[in-house]
Amino acid sequence: MTLPSLALLLFAVFSSAAGQIMLKHGMAAAATTAGKAGGSLAVRAATTPWVVLGLLVFAISAVAWMTTLARVPLSIAYPFNALGYLLIVLAGSTLLHERTSVWTWAGSLLVVAGLVTVFLGQRN
């Protein structure tokens, strides 16, 4: 895998994770507003800036992912999504103040260990 392909792949994974965090933050705000003021959650979500931004970032990540798939074999690219799990757990606990357990961290690290194993196996 070339360095530009790796950079594109990592951009796709990181932007996907960022989009998911933005969507979660926006949906929590939309649900709170809909619960207090009433109205449709769908309408609140569609007009919440974090939801709109999250969808935009997620769309950009989808384009980056499709471009990655044109350059990198799926058997190599797809395991990199495991890195997204770790990013989501990290961002969820630090930015969204979600509770995580030792088991969550251990499982996430095991998934990333699998990613490292696949990556190192491709270098031979």
Please state the rounded mean pLDDT for residues 72-89: 88
pLDDT of residue 65: 97
Q: At a CB cut-off of 8 Å and minimum separation 6, what does 28 contact?
A: 96
Give the predicted TM-score (pTM) of the model: 0.84
pLDDT, tens digit, 9 for 90 and up, residues 89-112: 999 999 999 999 999 999 988 988
Contact 81, 12 (CB under 8 A): no
Q: Single out the residue of 106, 58, 105, 115 nearest to residue 82, CA to CA.
A: 115
